[in-house]
Chains A and B, each alone.
Chain A
Amino acid sequence: SAVISQKPSRDICQRGTSLTIQCQVDSQVTMMFWYRQQPGQSLTLIATANQGSEATYESGFVIDKFPISRPNLTFSTLTVSNMSPEDSSIYLCSVDPPGGNTIYFGEGSWLTVV
């Protein structure tokens, strides 16, 4: 298993600003994933972050809007840039520890853009 900490847990942001979400894992993992969960909906994969290479983005998500850093095997950041109210969502970090086919989630970062 893995213990994942995300910061901030909640924030209210002004339209047009950017916010960086941090994700810290208690063990080294190869792959980290960032998901978005809009109110009342399921999870949508934004991108996969691998240490030492650029993140791989899913269709509909671009690096300019959601830049990701992965400086080491236990940490990643997701920035939501130039926010609009449509970006109001829960953003979840997850990891897939070695040896299994299960992913574990942080508690999420709930962003409200006003």
Chain B
Amino acid sequence: TQLLEQSPQFLSIQEGENLTVYCNSSSVFSSLQWYRQEPGEGPVLLVTVVTGGEVKKLKRLTFQFGDARKDSSLHITAAQTGDTGLYLCADGDTGNQFYFGTGTSLTVIP
């Protein structure tokens, strides 16, 4: 079973600050997804990256996939209170079974 480690585990920042969270895998990703989960809801897909070195931007969120496809980062610029939530990376392996990372719990303080 693949191990997906995320760091940091917890992050509390002031509104307007920038932050980066990381996802590292023990093996090469088939494809990598980032999800955000708000309290009381299921995870919601933010982005999918497939190609090593790929960079995707979603408004204030920038996702980067490592060249070796074993790591990824999510950078948020000028964080807002609405960014608060649990951020999860996931790998969809060839069996269509999605394994999730350990998660980063982000709190943005007004």
- Residues of chain A at the chain B interface (Cβ within 8 Å): 4, 31, 33, 35, 40-45, 48, 59, 92, 94, 96, 101-108, 110
Contact = CB atoms under 8 A, between A and B. Distances in A.
A102 B33 contact: yes
A92 B42 contact: yes
Given A42-B100, A43-B100, A107-B40, A101 B1 contact: no
What is the interface residue range for chain B against chain A?
Answer: 20 to 34
Contact of B99 (A40, A45, A104): A45
B48 interface: yes
B96 A31 contact: yes
A47 B102 CA distance: 19
Interface string B46-72: 001000000000000000000000000
Interface of B: 1, 30-31, 33, 40-45, 48, 86, 88, 92, 96-103, 105
B101 A101 contact: no
Contacts of A43: 43, 88, 100
Contact of B43 (A31, A41, A59, A105): A105
Given A4-B42, A92-B43, A101-B30, 12 more contacts: A31-B96, A35-B100, A43-B88, A45-B98, A45-B99, A92-B42, A101-B31, A101-B92, A102-B33, A107-B42, A108-B40, A108-B42
